[in-house]
Chains A and B, each alone.
Chain A
Amino acid sequence: MSARGTLPRRDFLRLGAAGAGGLLVAFTFPSRAVAGPSRAGLDAAAEAVELNAFIHVGTDDVVTLFIHKAEMGQGTVTSLAMLLAEELECDWSAIRTEFPGVDPKYGRSQGVYGSSSIRGSWNPLREAGAEARERLIAAAAARWNVAPSACRAERGAVINTVSGARLRYGALADAAAALPGPSNPRLKDPSQFELIGTPVPRLDTPAKVDGTAAFGIDTRVPDLRYAVIARCPVFGGRLARVDDARARQVQDVLDVVTVSTGVAVVARNTWAAMQGRQALEITWDEGRYAGNTSDSLRRMFTDLTATPGDEARAEGDALAAIASATDARRVEAIYDVPYLAHAPMEPLNCTADVRADRCEVWASTQGQSAAESAAMRVTSLPRERVTIHTLYMGGGFGRRAGSDYVGEAVEISKAIGAPVKLTWSREDDTQHDTYRPASVVRFSGAIDEDGWPAAVHARAACPSFRGPRPGVDRTAVEGLANMPYGLPHLRVEYHNPDAGVPVSYWRSVGYSQNVFFTESFLDELIAAGGRDPLEARRRLLAHEPRLLRALDVAARAAGWGTPLPDGHGRGLAVSDNIGSFTAQVAEVSVDRDRVVVHRVTCAVDCGQVVNPAIVAQQIRSGIVYGLSAALKGAITLTGGRVNETSFGNYDVIRMPEAPVVDVHVVPSRENPGGIGEASTPGIAPAVANALFAATGFRARRLPIRLPATS
């Protein structure tokens, strides 16, 4: 318990499992014996034996499952534990989970992004469970001197099927660990799954209900100092000079140090650090983007779309098809969306302790490997001298895939020679995000003589995460260039504008804006042809059986085509991101100047379901998240700086506005798809299309603002 941070990586794993710690890194929290064990009372006091990178078995029969990913609410801890436990045949009530450190045995890059945890772990983790199970069986068979085929595993024990004898895993672990692993562990047939496919309660719920769950921001270590950083309000700007005399006089302020992103104030508590920061007198060199406003950027993007861009998709001859269409069969429209902040509930933060020969980092991060790289870069320490502790994230949504805040904390600790917790204020979080990029798409399209959509030409202007560079950024056009509709003529072009605003992954990434653009403009074409939105989509998705099935399930469940109250309308949208297939029907009306979303029906085919309760949670979550963007969110700029500061002017969906979401999981035996980002893209267009159906108003810009009524 006292050997804090001095252990090499491997001992850390052993101690973490065998020590009196809980989930995460409880041995670094001596004052908090229950820093988040996944099951009350399972603190694994007994000696534990490592069977493989993911599974340790204690002599007390408690099984520790190592979750090499991270938890931001998406249910990874529970779902990955289910994959391991399904094949291990352990007793689900006698497991505990733990986040290991960064280690190559968990793959090249540890992190959670792209809704990839289940997809990437589906085979490896079941195989790890099966491998451990077969070794436990082999150990029992040797003990009984029978063939392994005469044994089977069941609820944490091996049963001798001939004699009926029974040996608990805890009594077999030592012998099993000494055996060579089977080369080809046999995986269960899905028909035999006992855990997978069932709504197992989340392992992290109890700790998240009694306040003991340890988030990154809750880290406490001896001698801890607290810091905030003043950063240049203009993107691309830098520190010119600072006068910290007044800041140093603030009660409880300990130090002021310059770091690469600005000026850090270090204090005895976070509040004092914030007071100290307010007392700094700083002159910034604002740099070359100081003249930007969000309006000027949007005009620049829009002007770009008037010129040909790089070709991202070409089917048939869209330009000719549209040019030859009569005015009545041609539709043109310009769509745009703003920059968006992620606004996770837990503001960015990181605790770091840099010493001459080592560096420890405690972080709520989506990118453990990225955090390790950041710490190595700042300290110049080798990999084996850097330890990353993974803690629960209070939301991530893509923001925590970055490691800027980790590098900052490590810089401060290195400068002051003491452990420090860096906390971003909500204003920092809102004004120094890496934003979902603003984007403009100029569309033209044509319908055929029967009124069906026949041609679409789209020119997108959307900054790439990789900065200004030639060529098509596939991430910026995903959901547009690869739209699933079988249009005879489709042309997509791309421009990469230099806007100087930091941009990065935001839940569902390019799909977050492009599905709004695609599904809304398609709806315009369908309306121009006088066709039914469901029937037209069905025709254009005839070659996409999984989307088609989701569409049919959602439409039927929502009662598509049945009468609605006066003033209500229904809208449709589909999305096929992250290997899953969703269809949504939104029902909306207008109350004075406000769009009211009454109900959303969402059907999802995400392949083999691991935990249907978590799937339903994620579908609802993604819809509420996307609805904030559809109805509320916009980051705007004046003088190169962000105007919005907090939830007061960057508001999000709150309880009274949250719709009822009706989730339908389409049964599937396909390999699992992702789920965390599946439902976010479709909600904005489903609402916009429903608004059109209800009122005739076509929303071509997010967030949706109704036209002023006179």
Chain B
Amino acid sequence: MAVEFTLNGSRRTVDAPAEMPLLWVLRDTLGLTGTKFGCGLSQCGACTVHLDGRAVKSCSVPMRNVAGKAVTTIEGLSAGGPHPVQQAWVALDVPQCGYCQAGQIMAASALLARTPSPTDADIDLAMRGNICRCGTYEAIRAAIHRAATLAQGGAR
């Protein structure tokens, strides 16, 4: 089916089976490989993108549910200037292997969009669906707090 949606601010139409997951359209059809395949079962969070501003696991969103909606991927996160979450990630040198980090960043940015000053408990809840096998969790937690400060205009 022809699916029309907004991708990183631009209107796109792709021809894909209605049940084909968004993840594979992004990666294989459109060549946006920043969004990662981790499990295909919504269990690891590597494929997290924003769908109408909400963090979703793109491996489990069929294209029929994307029609008419707005998708933001890691490639489009900083379209409006360097995103505070990415700035904080760089400042604290969060990634190790880096494979899960696009998903972590998309989950964290969705959290901060609705909860500008999250507590540790908020962070645990929002981020528990995103696995990091390198164990960067402590750094991610610190970077989310840092991003919250940056987003509110705080120095450092």
Contact = CB atoms under 8 A, between A and B. Distances in A.
To the question of whether A and B form a pair in one complex, the answer is yes
A415 B138 CA distance: 46
User: Most chain-A CB neighbours within 10 Å: which of B33, B44, B89, B98?
Assistant: B98
Interface stretch (A204-212, A232-240, A583-591): A204-212
B95 interface: yes
B115 interface: no
Contact of A345 (B27, B35, B90, B133): B133
A361 interface: no
A71 B98 CA distance: 10
Contact of B36 (A217, A269, A624): A217
Interface in A6-65: 31
A625 B133 contact: yes
A213 B98 CA distance: 8
A425 B133 contact: no
Nearest to B95: A208
B55 interface: no
B90 A661 contact: no
A653 B134 CA distance: 10
B24 A271 contact: yes
B56 interface: no
Given A347-B37, A625-B133, A202 B93 contact: yes
B102 A271 contact: no
Interface in A659-686: 660-661
A396 B140 CA distance: 21
A271 B21 contact: yes
A352 to B, nearest CB: 17
A211 B101 CA distance: 8
User: Most chain-B CB neighbours within 10 Å: which of A207, A393, A395, A653?
Assistant: A395
Contacts of A347: 37-38
A422 B46 CA distance: 19
Contacts of A425: 40
B85 to A, nearest CB: 9
A425 B37 CA distance: 9
Interface in A594-637: 613, 617, 620-625
B131 A270 contact: no
A345 B24 contact: no
A215 B99 contact: yes
Contacts of A211: 33-35, 73-75, 102
B89 A205 contact: yes
Given A394-B97, A648-B41, A655-B124, A206 B130 contact: no
User: Most chain-A CB neighbours within 10 Å: which of B41, B90, B132, B135?
Assistant: B135
Interface residues of B, number: 55
User: Most chain-A CB neighbours within 10 Å: which of B31, B93, B127?
Assistant: B93
B31 A220 contact: yes
Contacts of A335: none
B138 A658 contact: yes
B95 A209 contact: yes
Nearest to B43: A647
A121 to B, nearest CB: 19
Interface in A316-356: 343-347
Contact of B97 (A206, A210, A393): A393
Contacts of A658: 135, 137-138
B28 A226 contact: yes
A213 B101 CA distance: 11
Given A31-B31, A201-B93, A209-B89, A655 B41 contact: no
A278 to B, nearest CB: 12
Interface of B: 17, 20-21, 24, 27-29, 31, 33-41, 43-44, 46, 73-75, 78, 86, 89-90, 93-102, 105, 123-124, 127-141
25 contacts: A73-B98, A74-B96, A202-B95, A204-B98, A205-B89, A205-B95, A208-B98, A209-B101, A211-B35, A344-B99, A345-B100, A346-B36, A394-B98, A395-B99, A617-B139, A620-B136, A621-B135, A624-B134, A625-B133, A646-B43, A647-B39, A647-B43, A647-B44, A654-B130, A655-B128
The 3 nearest A-B residue pairs measured at CB: A211-B34, A624-B135, A394-B99
Interface of A: 31, 71-75, 201-202, 204-215, 217-218, 220, 226, 251, 268-272, 274, 343-347, 392-397, 423, 425-426, 613, 617, 620-625, 646-648, 652-656, 658, 660-661
